[in-house]
Structure 1
Amino acid sequence: MSITQLSTEILQKIYEYAKIQDLLHLAQSSKRNYRIYLGRRTHLLEQAMHNSYSPLPDLYKLVLSSEPDKSRKPLGTEIRRNLIVNRLIETKAMPNLTVELLTKMATYGKIADRWTELYPQIRWRHNSNNRRLLRPDEQERLRGAIYRYWTYNTLFHDSTYTQFDPDFPRSQEDLRLRILRTYTSIELIQLTEYVDKMRQLIQIDLYPSYSVIRECYSEPVPPKTLVALGWGTGSFHLHLVYDLLKYDPADLLHLFDETSSKKERMEYLMAQGISFADRPATLKDSILMVLFERKVLLEADRKLSDEDIQYGIIDTVDKSKAGGDRGNARYAHDASSDGSFVDGHQVSLSLWLDETGEEDD
């Protein structure tokens, strides 16, 4: 039977399983299909966005964090940032999807979706026999971690913040801690895993140290070649990597897909401005502070494999080892609705925290 002979109800049901581009293309295939689409446009658009780029609440908050300030009042930077954080925390529901909002969400969503394709290559870098495509629920967790990472970088790793307040949080009222407290401990674990993989991407693929360059060759590497390809050694290189974690996912994707030489990546780094250099990213330390507040203990053990990480982005082989269903875990519901400090109950999670640097000569 041709699709043109299907009833309106069946076609609308098909639309509900489509991704955003497929939905729009199908709606444009005939006048009848377009009328059927218009009949439930809002519902179908929301469902298509969910199918393509979920979780939508985190994606919407990312869009809000990136919105320019439309107020004409002469507000100070700290006051303006506080207003944005309050708005993000107070946002509880998705608005109606206008064309303008849909376009903005799709822009970020496409980049996050591209990372779901690249992530297995990074995640199973040293264990390629187990490499596979991410399952739909894993893709959603990864996109959520990307949106949260991007929101934090947009708010707290911009040129103004890194220039005037580059230090780590010093009080419980810090805006960085407030926004992170609105996430559950499981979401923070997933965010930590994503940050760690982006650190590996920077450290090995984009801005490799001299030791990484040496490992690529079977013969000794001449000093000139090291300088031409590598980005330093020891603590200097480690500090560079943590500085570059201020790159947002779009920056990292551009560097991974569009650049191949040290010159190109140096030019991209210099274009970020003077304040970008020598200012470490604060996200991972802020996450650890929030988890410490909740008395969630992370077992830092470099002998753990990625498959041993509890409640990470990727499903563990044995879910019972991680306490069973993620949704029933007690630290899946410990977010603070208003970002305030909440004393937690001590629990222990296994997470691979590799804080070591290079030990080159």
Structure 2
Amino acid sequence: MPSTNVTLQPSGEPLLYSMPNELILETMELLSPSDASNFALSSRRLFLVFKRNKESILITVLQRLPEINILLHIYTARKDESHMDLMLCPRIIDYSREDFTISLMELGSASQEFPSRRPLKVPKFTLAIQDIEQIWNMAKVIDWWVEKYPRLHWRDNSDDRRCLRGSEVVRVRKAVARWWLYAKYHHGNAFTRFSAFQPSTWTVDTRLHHIRLMPTSEINELWRLWRLVKETVSKDLCSSPEKVCHCKQGYSVELVPWGAGEGRRHAKIVKTYMKLDPEQLRYYLSHYANWKRSVTISSLSDIEPNFARDSETLSISLSKVLGERKIFRGVQSWADMPQFGILDEDRRSDLHKSKWLDDAWPDGRVPPLPDHVLTFPFDSSSIVARGDDGTETLFPF
């Protein structure tokens, strides 16, 4: 017996079957990567339409994503670019088949977002369908964070929870992609370029380079996301059910933060696990949320043998560059800095904000400093904090 939720034609077939393939194809191209994939899997006919037009659907959907240029940089990043003169340099990226070529990133648009610092040979990449599929899967990771964001933001106020508006979705997508780009170069083993020292204000540093390329508005948006990631790692990944609380109704399990009662150890553990990139953290939140500490640590140590070597540096880089922008513009107090949150409610009046929307330092370096800045002392060197993966045996160094 057919489901009552399916609208049928007089012939008894689902109404969907009367839609022309062209309309189905246009619908798929308007969806997010995850929604398009799920839609295609909902019936045999939709799957066949998707399969026949897969190339067109994937490229059309990806090209209109607000974070596509950042995803392309993540995908084409190379170890030999881990240098200030080469990192995030302009590039040409095409998708090519025997009969046609589609430009995914042109030199002009790449130069506007990541301009070159000196004459160099512009790298050119030609992608195949297998590459497009991998980028599609990366975009689906960002879809997951967009879907998850309201539950994380309104964790303690579920009555206020709502879906994200279109403008908010754009901010989440770009912020997650920026986090991923930073993690690719500075938090994982793939591009190991370990520095024993933290980023310092006004200095030449590849970690600050990533943040200086962004306008102040987007730095603030990434900062809001990063605070939410910290809370999520603390409560959902680095806390385990270790205490049974007896009460009148029976008993319940209390989640205990790893390192609780050991000074600031829990904060140190959280800053270590924040080195996971969006795809890795999605995996651990999906499969290891609030598991036993030993199980999670064992899984991670198999993948990242040197994971406890150091802590994340993105929070430091964000605070340093925001401090640079504040001093550079002669703002006296942090209270006078504009508010740019992910959600519309966290963005105050738009008056006098335009100058913060387009103030990126496009070559990733500090521009010539005004005279008043030169009177400020530079940062003293600080060592990057040693990491802590939460193992029972804590090394005191």
SS across alignment from 1:277: helix
Question: Cα distance, 1:90 vs. partner?
Answer: 2.0
Bigger drift between 184-193 and 127-136 goes to: 127-136
Residue type of the partner of 2:349? Answer: A
SS across alignment from 1:322: coil
Question: Cα distance, 1:153 vs. partner?
Answer: 0.8
Question: Cα distance, 1:149 vs. partner?
Answer: 0.6
SS across alignment from 2:224: helix
SS across alignment from 1:199: helix
Question: Cα distance, 1:126 vs. partner?
Answer: 1.9
TM-score (norm 1): 0.70
Q: Could you tell me how far apart the structure 2 residues matched to 1:227 and 1:34 are?
A: 44
Question: Cα distance, 1:136 vs. partner?
Answer: 2.6
Query: Quick one: percent identity of the two aligned structures?
Result: 22
Contact 2:274 2:312 in 1 (8 A): yes
**Bigger helix share:** 1
TM-score (norm 2): 0.64
Aligned pairs for 1:109-258 within 5 A: 109-159=139-189, 164-170=194-200, 172-208=203-239, 217=245, 230-232=258-260, 233-258=262-287
Question: Cα distance, 1:135 vs. partner?
Answer: 2.0
1:175-233 Cα offsets, whole Å, 9 max, x none, are: 11112211111111111111111110111121138xx977x9477xxxxx999874334
Q: Could you tell me how far apart the structure 2 residues matched to 1:298 and 1:249 are?
A: 35
Q: Could you tell me how far apart the structure 2 residues matched to 1:199 and 1:189 are?
A: 15
Structure 1 unaligned blocks of 5 or more: 70-78, 220-224, 302-308, 347-361
SS across alignment from 1:231: coil
Contact 1:207 1:231 in 2 (8 A): no
SS across alignment from 1:333: coil
Contact 1:81 1:155 in 2 (8 A): yes
Q: Could you tell me how far apart the structure 1 residues matched to 2:271 and 2:229 are?
A: 10
SS across alignment from 1:122: helix
Aligned pairs for 1:28-47 within 5 A: 29=45, 45-47=58-60
1:220-266 Cα offsets, whole Å, 9 max, x none, are: xxxxx999874334311111111111111122111111123323212
- Residue 313 of structure 2 corresponds to residue 282 of structure 1: yes
Question: Cα distance, 1:99 vs. partner?
Answer: 1.3
Q: Could you tell me how far apart the structure 2 residues matched to 1:107 and 1:298 are?
A: 44
Contact 1:311 1:322 in 2 (8 A): no
Question: Cα distance, 1:334 vs. partner?
Answer: 0.9
Bigger drift between 54-63 and 183-192 goes to: 54-63
Bigger drift between 151-160 and 106-115 goes to: 151-160
Gap change, CA 1:98 and 1:87, over 3 Å in 2: farther
1:47-71 Cα offsets, whole Å, 9 max, x none, are: 32255x5321122122123x5x5xx
**Bigger strand share:** 2
- Residue 319 of structure 2 corresponds to residue 292 of structure 1: no
Bigger drift between 182-191 and 12-21 goes to: 12-21
Gap change, CA 1:263 and 1:9, over 3 Å in 2: closer
